[in-house]
Amino acid sequence: MDKPVRLRFAPSPTGPLHIGGIRTALYNYLFTRKHQGQFILRVEDTDQGRYVPGAEEYIINSLKWVGLIPDEGPGFGGEFGPYRQSERKAIYSKYAQQLVEKGEAYYAFDSAEELNALRDSNGGNQKYDYNTRHQMKNSVTLGMEVAKKKMDEGDPYVIRLKVPEAQEVVIEDVIRGRVSFHTSDLDDKVLIKSDGMPTYHMANVIDDYLMKISHVIRGEEWLSSTAHHVLLYKAFGWKNDMPAFAHLPLILKPTGNGKLSKRDGAQFGFPVFPISWIVSDGVEFSGFREYGFEPDALLNFLALLGWNNGTEQELFTIDELIQNFSLEKIVKSGARFDFEKGKWFNQQYLHKIPETEMVLRIRRDFHELNIDLKDDDCHMIYELYKDRVVFSKDYCDFGKVYFEEITHYDKEFVEKKWKPEHLPAYQSIQEIISGIQDWHAAEIETRLKEFVKTGAIKPGELFPALRVAMSGIPTGPDVFKMIQFTGKEKFVKRMEQFIQYLKR
Ligand code: GLU
């Protein structure tokens, strides 16, 4: 690569970052790390009407949580700042003037009514473009002198790009290949708004140029804007400094039809934001963090939504992702968001966490329930549930049953599997268990298996019942270990409570 590799993640603080934003940030990050480049955070906050307080902080906290730490950005240092576009207003107006002077842009004074009238003509499809600009009120039709006078008099105005007539605009997208647009489809985009603020297109291109951005990796929804961006690079005479463009495939709803939207979380019952977002009226959307995701697992899951290294490998450490990542291996078609797969990744990552660390978490989670666990108990809960947990908080969800009263028994089990003729067997079990001196799972197993051999009850009927008695549900880990952990006295009591319940 000839130019230094500098990539930016450029979110607008208009609300919480969607999980697709984290994927975009991740791909930018992986690419820069692979090529020893710089990963830059640029906050695109020029649309003051859509600015949401707290959103910038949210974006930064989300990036920090997943560990995608910018090398440059607001609060991160760097020599190309400021990295917040609202602090760069003067820069954009200077460049806009340059374009006007070069005849590549012009001042426009049209009122909202005039613009509406233009739009409404021709069946509501009319654009402000090279066919129509001659009928409008701008420095092209009025002449520069009149335009300047109007501006001196305080008439509101915008600056528009003078899109050239009848040209093909070609984008060589790294992922999509050659994508071409025709200027007859492109309007004279506003570059500077009447409040003096630049539009997204203007600020984005100027900043990519000034920040020496080598590659733009962003969502597919920006592909059509790129045509205007290419025209802007040409208009400025910066064509040779234009970054390479790579437009990522969409992340699709689990059903596969349509883009995964911020609203889909509520509809499908999974998070779509990295960390929780508090909506102003007190409503809170919980994020992947609150759901219990390990940040590395989330990154691994997101990395594979639209990219693979051409093999069947699914689990990658962040270093392996960096080594393997390439833009050429990003797919063109949309990637379906499969939340169950995300959970699978989390489960795999939990297996990598050392027992000592997990035990600390188990103790902490129980402590929050006002249950102070001994070391041995934490280890036992870890042992019992390590093959079943998807999130680390599941240890507590599964394990708390040994410390709290049982208030519910699995309805289906009681209705379908329980038969009154099992009662004597349950009573015998209580006696057998009470008599065990060497309190250990192996001994419990031997005694119970001996009992089953008498034919009093089938193992398939007994063991699920014992789980229900101990925990309320018929599924769970090794039943003999469960009994051991429950403890002799508590087990006998729980059997008694269960028998009473069945007899009711
Ligand atoms: N500010 C745009 C956004 O919110 C940035 C798009 C781009 O990366 O150019 O996604």
Cα(24) to ligand 1 centroid in Å equals 10
User: Ligand 1 pocket, 222 CB below 6 A?
Assistant: yes
Q: How far apart are CA 179 and CA 227, in angstroms?
A: 9
User: Which of 49-53, 217-221, 423-427 is predicted with the least confidence, judged by mean pLDDT?
Assistant: 49-53
Task: Give the mean pLDDT of 135-163.
Answer: 97
Out of 119-133, 137-151, 451-465, the most confident range is: 137-151
Task: Give the mean pLDDT of 364-375.
Answer: 96
User: Ligand 1 pocket, 471 CB below 6 A?
Assistant: no
Phi, then psi, of 359 in degrees rounded to 5:
-65, -40
Work out whether strand 105-108 and strand 158-161 pair parallel, antiparallel, or are unpaired.
antiparallel
Q: How far apart are CA 386 and CA 348, in angstroms?
A: 11
User: Ligand 1 pocket, 204 CB below 6 A?
Assistant: yes
Give the tens place of pLDDT for each residue, 310-327: 999 999 999 999 999 999
Q: Which atom of ligand 1 is nearest to the CA of 200?
A: 1
Task: Give the mean pLDDT of 110-114.
Answer: 96
Beta-carbon contacts of 489 under 8 Å, excluding residues fewer than 6 positions away, are none
User: Ligand 1 pocket, 218 CB below 6 A?
Assistant: yes
In whole angstroms, how far apart are CA 90 and each of 43, 285, 442? 16, 37, 77
Nearest protein CA to atom 2 of ligand 1, as residue = 11
Residue 486's pLDDT is 96
Q: Which atom of ligand 1 is nearest to the CA of 9?
A: 8
Q: Closest Cα partner for 471 from 490, 446, 449?
A: 490
Phi, then psi, of 5 in degrees rounded to 5:
-85, 115
- Cα 436 to its chain centre, rounded Å, is 52
Residues annotated as catalytic (active site), given as ranges: 262
Cα(223) to ligand 1 centroid in Å equals 11
Residue 234's pLDDT is 98
Confidence of residue 262 (pLDDT cuts 50, 70, 90): confident
User: Which of 14-18, 146-150, 280-284 is predicted with the least confidence, judged by mean pLDDT?
Assistant: 280-284
User: Ligand 1 pocket, 12 CB below 6 A?
Assistant: yes
Residue 121's pLDDT is 86
User: Ligand 1 pocket, 44 CB below 6 A?
Assistant: yes
User: Ligand 1 pocket, 215 CB below 6 A?
Assistant: no
Residue 278's pLDDT is 87
Cα(133) to ligand 1 centroid in Å equals 28
Nearest protein CA to atom 10 of ligand 1, as residue = 11
Cα(25) to ligand 1 centroid in Å equals 11
Give the tens place of pLDDT for each residue, 113-139: 999 999 988 788 789 999 999 999 999
Phi-psi region of 372 (alpha: psi -120 to 50; beta: other; left: phi over 0): beta
Cα(51) to ligand 1 centroid in Å equals 14
Q: Which atom of ligand 1 is nearest to the CA of 24?
A: 8
Q: Which amino acid is at 316?
A: F
Q: How far apart are CA 12 and CA 35, in angstroms?
A: 26
Q: Which atom of ligand 1 is nearest to the CA of 14?
A: 4
Residue 1's pLDDT is 56
Residue 267's pLDDT is 84
Residue 77's pLDDT is 97
Residue 96's pLDDT is 97
Task: Give the mean pLDDT of 343-352.
Answer: 98
Q: Is the model's pLDDT at 2 over the cut of 80?
A: no
User: Ligand 1 pocket, 228 CB below 6 A?
Assistant: no
Residue 420's pLDDT is 87
Q: Which atom of ligand 1 is nearest to the CA of 44?
A: 1
Residue 16's pLDDT is 92
The mean pLDDT value of the chain amounts to 95
Task: Give the mean pLDDT of 350-375.
Answer: 97
Q: How far apart are CA 53 and CA 57, in angstroms?
A: 9
Cα(119) to ligand 1 centroid in Å equals 27
Q: Which amino acid is at 115?
A: L
pTM, two decimal places: 0.93
Give helix 295-303 / helix 339-352 axis angle, nearest 10°: 130
State what percent of residues in the chain have pLDDT above 70.
Answer: 100
Give the tens place of pLDDT for each residue, 8-31: 999 999 999 999 999 999 999 999
Asked whether 240 and 233 are in contact (CB, 8 A), the reply is no
Residue 3's pLDDT is 87
Confidence of residue 51 (pLDDT cuts 50, 70, 90): confident
Q: How far apart are CA 170 and CA 213, in angstroms?
A: 19
Cα(281) to ligand 1 centroid in Å equals 27
User: Ligand 1 pocket, 32 CB below 6 A?
Assistant: no
Confidence of residue 259 (pLDDT cuts 50, 70, 90): very high
Cis peptide before 243 (omega within 30 of 0): no
Q: How far apart are CA 462 and CA 89, in angstroms?
A: 75
- Substitution candidate for ligand 1 out of 7, 9, 12, 202 with most atoms within 8 A of CB: 12
- Substitution candidate for ligand 1 out of 44, 85, 205 with most atoms within 8 A of CB: 44
